[in-house]
Protein backbone atom coordinates (compact mmCIF):
# COMPACT_ATOMS: atom_id res chain seq x y z
CA UNK A 1 0.00 0.00 0.00
CA UNK A 2 1.37 3.40 -0.97
CA UNK A 3 1.53 5.93 1.82
CA UNK A 4 1.32 9.65 1.28
CA UNK A 5 4.65 11.42 1.50
CA UNK A 6 5.86 12.63 4.88
CA UNK A 7 4.69 11.71 8.32
CA UNK A 8 0.96 11.94 8.61
CA UNK A 9 0.16 11.64 12.32
CA UNK A 10 -3.16 10.10 13.16
CA UNK A 11 -5.66 12.66 14.29
CA UNK A 12 -5.70 12.75 18.09
CA UNK A 13 -8.56 14.65 19.67
CA UNK A 14 -7.18 17.59 21.62
CA UNK A 15 -8.72 18.87 24.83
CA UNK A 16 -7.95 21.86 27.00
CA UNK A 17 -7.35 21.60 30.74
CA UNK A 18 -9.77 24.05 32.34
CA UNK A 19 -7.23 24.89 35.05
CA UNK A 20 -4.03 25.74 33.20
CA UNK A 21 -5.37 25.92 29.61
CA UNK A 22 -2.79 23.35 28.54
CA UNK A 23 -3.84 21.42 25.44
CA UNK A 24 -3.36 17.64 25.46
CA UNK A 25 -4.58 14.56 23.71
CA UNK A 26 -7.77 13.64 25.53
CA UNK A 27 -6.23 10.46 26.99
CA UNK A 28 -3.75 12.58 28.94
CA UNK A 29 -6.53 14.42 30.74
CA UNK A 30 -9.19 13.35 33.21
CA UNK A 31 -12.74 13.95 32.08
CA UNK A 32 -15.30 15.30 34.49
CA UNK A 33 -18.92 15.04 33.56
CA UNK A 34 -22.07 16.70 34.75
CA UNK A 35 -24.27 13.84 35.92
CA UNK A 36 -27.68 13.86 37.61
CA UNK A 37 -26.03 13.51 40.99
CA UNK A 38 -23.52 16.26 40.37
CA UNK A 39 -20.08 16.50 38.86
CA UNK A 40 -18.25 13.19 38.70
CA UNK A 41 -15.04 11.76 37.33
CA UNK A 42 -15.52 9.89 34.08
CA UNK A 43 -12.56 7.50 33.73
CA UNK A 44 -13.88 6.05 30.47
CA UNK A 45 -14.42 9.47 28.91
CA UNK A 46 -17.63 8.12 27.42
CA UNK A 47 -20.40 9.22 29.73
CA UNK A 48 -23.08 11.37 28.20
CA UNK A 49 -23.30 14.92 29.38
CA UNK A 50 -21.38 18.12 29.42
CA UNK A 51 -17.74 17.41 30.12
CA UNK A 52 -14.64 19.27 31.20
CA UNK A 53 -11.04 18.13 31.22
CA UNK A 54 -8.28 18.44 33.80
CA UNK A 55 -4.69 17.28 34.02
CA UNK A 56 -4.31 14.32 36.41
CA UNK A 57 -2.32 16.49 38.81
CA UNK A 58 -3.32 18.08 42.09
CA UNK A 59 -2.04 21.47 41.01
CA UNK A 60 -4.70 21.72 38.32
CA UNK A 61 -7.49 20.21 40.45
CA UNK A 62 -6.77 22.51 43.35
CA UNK A 63 -6.93 25.52 41.08
CA UNK A 64 -10.46 24.72 39.90
CA UNK A 65 -11.79 23.38 43.21
CA UNK A 66 -10.69 26.50 45.02
CA UNK A 67 -12.83 28.70 42.83
CA UNK A 68 -15.96 28.07 40.80
CA UNK A 69 -14.26 27.45 37.47
CA UNK A 70 -15.45 23.86 37.34
CA UNK A 71 -19.00 24.96 38.02
CA UNK A 72 -18.74 27.57 35.30
CA UNK A 73 -17.33 25.10 32.80
CA UNK A 74 -20.07 22.57 33.49
CA UNK A 75 -22.79 25.14 34.15
CA UNK A 76 -23.91 23.52 37.36
CA UNK A 77 -23.56 23.84 41.11
CA UNK A 78 -21.15 21.72 43.08
CA UNK A 79 -22.61 20.56 46.39
CA UNK A 80 -20.33 20.27 49.43
CA UNK A 81 -20.66 16.51 49.29
CA UNK A 82 -19.79 16.52 45.61
CA UNK A 83 -16.82 18.79 46.18
CA UNK A 84 -15.55 16.46 48.92
CA UNK A 85 -15.74 13.50 46.53
CA UNK A 86 -13.65 15.40 43.99
CA UNK A 87 -11.17 16.44 46.69
CA UNK A 88 -10.88 12.76 47.69
CA UNK A 89 -10.18 11.86 44.07
CA UNK A 90 -7.64 14.66 43.83
CA UNK A 91 -5.80 13.20 46.84
CA UNK A 92 -5.04 10.07 44.80
CA UNK A 93 -3.29 12.09 42.10
CA UNK A 94 0.37 13.12 42.01
CA UNK A 95 1.01 16.68 43.10
CA UNK A 96 2.24 17.79 39.70
CA UNK A 97 3.87 16.42 36.60
CA UNK A 98 7.28 16.78 38.25
CA UNK A 99 6.06 14.82 41.29
CA UNK A 100 4.71 11.96 39.20
CA UNK A 101 6.69 8.95 40.48
CA UNK A 102 6.63 7.24 37.10
CA UNK A 103 7.95 10.29 35.28
CA UNK A 104 10.57 10.79 37.98
CA UNK A 105 11.87 7.22 37.77
CA UNK A 106 12.17 7.59 34.01
CA UNK A 107 14.32 10.65 34.49
CA UNK A 108 16.59 8.93 37.01
CA UNK A 109 17.57 6.19 34.61
ZN1 LIG B 1 -3.76 21.61 33.70
For the chain, domains (ranges, CATH) are: 14-97 (3.30.1230.10)
Mean pLDDT value across residues 19-27: 94
Check whether 108 has a pLDDT greater than 80: no
How far is it, in rounded angstroms, from Cα 102 to Cα 79? 33
Phi-psi region of 52 (alpha: psi -120 to 50; beta: other; left: phi over 0): beta
pTM above 0.85, yes or no: no
Q: Beta-strand (E) ranges in 1-109? A: 14-16, 23-25, 30-35, 38-42, 51-54
Check whether 59 has a pLDDT greater than 70: yes
Cα 28 to ligand 1 centre (Å): 10
Cα 8 to ligand 1 centre (Å): 27
Amino acid sequence: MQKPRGPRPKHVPQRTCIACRGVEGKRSLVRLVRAETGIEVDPTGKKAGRGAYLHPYQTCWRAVLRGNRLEQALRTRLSDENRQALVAYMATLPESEAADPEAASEREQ
